A and B are shown apart, each in its own frame.
Chain A
Amino acid sequence: MLRAAKILHLRELIQGHLHAPPSAPRAYSPSGFPPLDSLLEGGLWKGALFEFSSPAKTSGASLLMHHLLRLSSQQGQHPALIDGRDTFDPQSADRFLLTRLLWIRCQKAADALRCADLLLRDGNLPLVFLDLRGNSREELRRIPAPHWYRLQRMVEPTAVTLIALTAHSLIPCADVRLCLESRFGLESLEDDPQALLGRIHLHVVRKRPARLGLPIHSGALG
């Protein structure tokens, strides 16, 4: 009897210690794109790894990326673009963005991940895009899953937002995975980007709950 009571007490103790902590509100920064803000309950989370997946080649992912980069640069920050296959076109980018953008031109996905690692360790740049859409599926499949977990762990305690652009779901530990599905016609080549943003369709594939201990803070990007 005494033994059973001890076991019960021990069980209570263990349950008390292993009790899942209540989720804390995330620190976030408004993205300036209302559909995205509503999906993420406020804006882009700081200290989070996002995966924007776009199976279609013309899906508006670059449009959204340019918008977020421009917003960050307008706030006086230096956003970074790690270009996994050197596909960024400066001539079709906003000139103001080009004054502040750090563009890292890689040829291999492995190099791009190394660059992401360096930038996350640095922690100076609040918004980092990792564009892997140009890299082949075989190349991306060779990236061991622990590499992604390491990036996720590195970004978590910082105020950096890391957004990976992929053609297919790739990152097992992404805090948020969004899928972009949009279709544009040739007439959209002359349209205002703000108007085109409204034609982007997003849906959340996966969203991890916030963890305890993150600071409750919101504000502009960064």
Chain B
Amino acid sequence: MKYAVLWAPDFALQAVLRPEPELRLQPVALINEQGPQGRVFQATWSALQEGVLPGMPPSQAQARCPRLLFKTRSPASEDCAKAAMLECALGVSPWVEDTGAGVCSLRWEPGFGADPARLLEALAKRSLKGCLGLAPNPDLAWLAAQAAALGHGPVLCREIRESRELHPLPLKLLTPPAHLSEVLDQWGVRTIGDFVALGRDALLERLGPEISPVFERAVGRVERPLRQITTPERYEEHLDLEHAIETLEPLLFLIRRCLGQLVLRLGSAWLVAGEIHLRLGFASGGFYQRVFSVPSPTCDENVLFGMLHTHLENFRAEHPITALGLSAVPSRAPRQQFALFESALRDPHQFFETLARLHALLGEDRVGRPEPEPTRRSDCFRMRALSAAPAEHPPSAEALPGALGLSLRRFRPLVAARVQCAPQPVFVESAEVNGPVLAVQGPVVLSGDWWDRAAWSHREWDVELRDGVLCRLREEPGGWFVEGIYD
């Protein structure tokens, strides 16, 4: 049996630089926390070359490298990067362990198409640079991965078949306790080979039992089972922005990058996005959140981006944006069977975008599907979102009550009227309809919500005027109104 360890060196820094991979070639230092206690935690290769070292105060680092860029550590970004890394590993093997920050161990099954180059490529597509170590046990594989990081080949992969191959590697890879490391250094023991040559008993006698696990690792005798994890169903990208965003263009740029990562991750699991959740954090501490339902679940980056773009075109915020979160709720690719005469929308995504534009133009409550409320009160309904997908059990036309007679065209708001009665209405005078009444039906007395302060009651009359207009009049304590015209 063989094990592999996938390791992303400087994981916290890589996680922060994922949305801006071009910064990897520039001197960038990651600060562990904001404020006077902040220290350089990790730094890019070019920053290290300029003399920036982990543990330095930012001011000292800046003095050594004036063009140094500072980034702050972001736990949310690290979580997202870890999820992306675990997905890569799970694409190769179902036995995966979340070993630590930027490290995951897996059982390596070459028979199932596991290919080191392909695994590292998948990781690179997720904007993470990793090393792979292969060995007969997980701890040896971890040493192999670290050894691979020391190499300079195009593929950062190293396979170790027996512990003897570790001997030329530096002793620090075994991470002995600091005080023992100092002693060994004074003895001139620099490599794992030198260390093993001293012998287990001699080391125990001189350095005590603390050195025992280090020696066991050096000879590759540690066998342990993997703490297997399940597939993380969490498709989320998060960015804490160093500089607040105030305009749409940079925001869209970052959204596009995050969306690209989400789509890649969903695609690798053969899933599509059923919903997209957008969360914007503001400098004031507040946030804005919105859920976008994808009418026909898809993994098409352009379609998903179009949805977000259309919405954000009309988005206004009072404070600059300092954080961006984007997550996808995965679903399976849609499979739907239409009824014989039922036709699908030609392009559900386009339709969804058109609806979004209509919402932006008129407002959310002005576009949709009307649904009458279960009440006798006039003009009582709510607007529902129109779903592009066919209902699972669509109601048949016969199952629902049909309409009777002419339909009403309502006046919103009601039109005030002067009505002469004797005792029924005989003449109507209003801005919309005027004239003597030829025929009358009514009154219909309606009331409701008597238990509430919003109790209502009125009387309705249907009248036919001499000019042929059929209208509905409403008599309220406050006066007469024309409710609408039958047409």
Q: Which of chain B's residues have a CB closer than 8 A to the CB of A100?
A: 369
Q: Which of chain A's residues have a CB closer than 8 A to the CB of B433?
A: 57
Tell me how far the C-beta of B296 lies from the nearest C-beta in chain A, rounded to whole angstroms. Answer: 12
Is residue B390 contacting chain A, with contact meaning CB distance below 8 A?
A: yes
Partner of B402, one of A94, A102, A106: A94
CA distance A106 to B372 in the complex (A): 19
The count of residues in chain A whose C-beta lies closer than 8 Å to any C-beta of chain B is 62
Per-residue interface assignment for chain B, residues 451 to 487, with 1 indicating a CB less than 8 Å from any chain A CB and 0 otherwise: 0000000000011100111100000000000001111
User: Is A222 within 8 A of B410, CB to CB?
Assistant: no
User: Is A104 within 8 A of B369, CB to CB?
Assistant: no
Q: Which of chain A's residues have a CB closer than 8 A to the CB of B395?
A: 96, 99
Is residue B242 contacting chain A, with contact meaning CB distance below 8 A?
A: no
User: Is A134 within 8 A of B406, CB to CB?
Assistant: no
Q: Total number of A-B contacts with CB less than 8 angstroms?
A: 189
User: Is A188 within 8 A of B408, CB to CB?
Assistant: no
Is residue A191 contacting chain B, with contact meaning CB distance below 8 A?
A: yes
Q: Which of chain B's residues have a CB closer than 8 A to the CB of A210?
A: none
CA distance A101 to B402 in the complex (A): 15
Tell me how far the C-beta of A38 lies from the nearest C-beta in chain B, rounded to whole angstroms. Answer: 23
Partner of A114, one of B342, B361, B406, B409: B361
Q: Which of chain A's residues have a CB closer than 8 A to the CB of B346?
A: 123-124
Q: Which of chain B's residues have a CB closer than 8 A to the CB of A192?
A: 404
User: Is B487 within 8 A of A63, CB to CB?
Assistant: yes
Is residue A75 contacting chain B, with contact meaning CB distance below 8 A?
A: yes
Interface segment, B225-233, B327-335, B349-357? B349-357
User: Is B362 within 8 A of A193, CB to CB?
Assistant: no
CA distance A222 to B338 in the complex (A): 15
The count of residues in chain B whose C-beta lies closer than 8 Å to any C-beta of chain A is 66
Per-residue interface assignment for chain B, residues 12 to 31, with 1 indicating a CB less than 8 Å from any chain A CB and 0 otherwise: 00000000000000000000
Q: Which of chain B's residues have a CB closer than 8 A to the CB of A59?
A: 487
CA distance A169 to B378 in the complex (A): 32
Partner of B351, one of A89, A92, A122, A184: A122
CA distance A152 to B395 in the complex (A): 35
Tell me how far the C-beta of B315 lies from the nearest C-beta in chain A, rounded to whole angstroms. Answer: 19
A-B contact pairs, 13 of them (CB 8 A): A76-B339, A87-B411, A89-B407, A91-B408, A103-B369, A106-B362, A111-B362, A118-B358, A122-B354, A183-B468, A186-B439, A188-B405, A189-B486
Nearest first, the 9 A-B pairs at minimum CB distance are: A76-B342, A90-B370, A62-B487, A95-B400, A122-B354, A189-B405, A124-B351, A92-B407, A87-B409
